[in-house]
């Protein structure tokens, strides 16, 4: 049987992570996978998370199963974090999932169950794993223009022209904030224009929000998602706690289905809970428990927010430093967009040959489409990256 399988091509981002580890050069810079690193290159456990873990270690008395949909308090806390008071709690169905990827997978399966003919529209470019999971499930995908590589900004006119081709019942996948891989984001007026079009067509928005708090702050980063959830009849939201709580390996995420028709909530909830049972039964609890502890305790929450703000501001400073250094070296402001982008990533607009050459000559690792993880930089490596970019003719 096994010999009937086809070789799978490895995930490019994860391959890059491995190649970096194996590179023997003493000075090397990892700007690949979307994992936060401080100025010393470490991915620390956040202070509030560590405290929550100590508390939970004392409190936990059993490892028995919790709930098929996950701990309800985790759902309440996460709905509050992402949606605030924008929608009534009883209009949201929610399941805990293994990470944001688990939430995406469950959302796509839910779409397939409800509407097998629906196409899913994704931004060009998008996180490659969106495409990979959709392909794996056999769901038809259509790309819509999103990024203008000449300016480093959103190509909003192109996006709207392409979204005009969406049909009733199709799903449009949007990044809630901190677009991965480009770093270019919609402003609120643009979100409103998208919402109006989707409502006119009768299409369903699905939001992937994996970096809340990494752009302009927890509240600001949720504004687009809240606008959609309050304005559209139905919204799917896949969220990750990997990045903003720094609990990557704990696999903590949530899928929400918001419906203005609250009579549909129970139907959505029973199908989502069913999907958990089919795919992995009970979702992981430990990371969700840490998140719940942090969010419900005023002191822990304040400390978590303060640390997250420091992380965010550190990335903004690095963005500005890189844009300034490139301006100094190139004598032009053509890389000014790096300071305008938000989140962990920016797409620099280099060719794959230039990306390859930077890796070969300077041991600087970025994804092949020239996406960099800003958090992989520090005061010393910013000038090295800028210099390498100019040297390869950027």
The contact set with ligand LMR (CB under 6 A) reads: 13, 33-34, 127, 129, 180
Smallest distance, Å, CB 368 to ligand LMR? Answer: 12
Cβ-based nearer residue to ligand LMR, 42 or 64: 42
Measured distance CA(275)–CA(281) in Å, rounded: 8
Cβ-based nearer residue to ligand LMR, 108 or 127: 127
Measured distance CA(53)–CA(59) in Å, rounded: 10
Smallest distance, Å, CB 347 to ligand LMR? Answer: 12
Smallest distance, Å, CB 43 to ligand LMR? Answer: 12
Q: Which residue is nearest to ligand LMR (CB)?
A: 34
Cβ-based nearer residue to ligand LMR, 226 or 251: 251
Token code pair at residue 215: 């752009």
Measured distance CA(359)–CA(35) in Å, rounded: 19
CA-nearest of 100, 39, 12 to 375 is 39
Smallest distance, Å, CB 13 to ligand LMR? Answer: 4
Known catalytic residues are 127, 208, 210, 243
Find the helix or strand (DSSP H, E) in which 295 lies.
helix 286-296
| Residue 342 φ then ψ, to 5° | -135, 150
Please tell me the number of Cα atoms within 13 Å of 262 on its side-chain side.
5
Cβ-based nearer residue to ligand LMR, 127 or 365: 127
Measured distance CA(76)–CA(136) in Å, rounded: 31
Sign of the CA dihedral 93, 97, 103, 105? negative
Token code pair at residue 189: 């007026």
């Amino acid at each position: 049987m096994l010999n009937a399988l086809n070789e799978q091509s490895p995930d490019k981002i994860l391959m890059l992570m491995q190649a970096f580890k194996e590179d023997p050069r003493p000075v090397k810079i990892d700007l690949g996978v979307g994992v936060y690193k401080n100025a010393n290159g470490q991915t620390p456990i956040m202070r509030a998370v560590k405290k929550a873990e100590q508390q939970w270690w004392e409190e936990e008395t059993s490892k028995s199963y919790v709930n098929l949909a996950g701990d309800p308090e985790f759902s309440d806390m996460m709905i509050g974090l992402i949606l605030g008071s924008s929608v009534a709690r009883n209009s949201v169905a929610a399941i805990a999932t293994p990470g944001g990827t688990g939430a995406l997978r469950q959302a796509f399966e839910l779409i397939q169950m409800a509407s097998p003919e629906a196409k899913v529209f994704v931004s060009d470019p998008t996180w490659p794993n969106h495409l990979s999971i959709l392909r794996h499930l056999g769901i038809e995908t259509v790309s819509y223009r999103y990024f203008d590589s000449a300016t480093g900004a959103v190509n909003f006119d192109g996006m709207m022209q392409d979204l005009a081709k969406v049909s009733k019942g199709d799903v449009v996948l949007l990044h809630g904030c901190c677009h991965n891989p480009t770093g270019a984001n919609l402003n609120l007026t643009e979100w409103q224009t998208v919402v109006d079009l989707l409502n006119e067509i009768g299409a369903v928005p699905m939001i992937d929000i994996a970096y809340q708090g990494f752009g302009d702050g927890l509240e600001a980063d949720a504004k687009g998602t809240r606008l959609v959830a309050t304005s559209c009849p139905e919204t799917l939201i896949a969220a990750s706690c990997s990045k903003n709580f720094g609990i990557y390996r704990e696999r903590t995420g949530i899928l929400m289905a918001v419906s203005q028709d609250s009579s549909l909530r129970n139907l959505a909830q029973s199908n989502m809970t069913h999907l958990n049972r089919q795919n992995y039964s009970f979702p992981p609890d430990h990371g969700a428990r840490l998140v719940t502890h942090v969010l419900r305790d005023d002191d822990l929450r304040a400390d978590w927010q303060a640390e997250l703000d420091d992380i965010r501001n550190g990335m903004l400073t690095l963005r500005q430093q890189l844009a300034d250094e490139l301006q100094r070296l190139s004598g032009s402001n053509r890389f000014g967009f790096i300071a305008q982008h938000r989140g962990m990533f920016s797409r620099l607009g280099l060719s794959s040959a230039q990306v390859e050459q930077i890796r070969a000559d300077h041991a600087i690792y970025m994804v092949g489409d020239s996406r960099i993880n800003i958090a992989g930089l520090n005061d010393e490596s910013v000038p090295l990256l800028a210099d390498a970019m100019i040297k390869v003719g950027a």
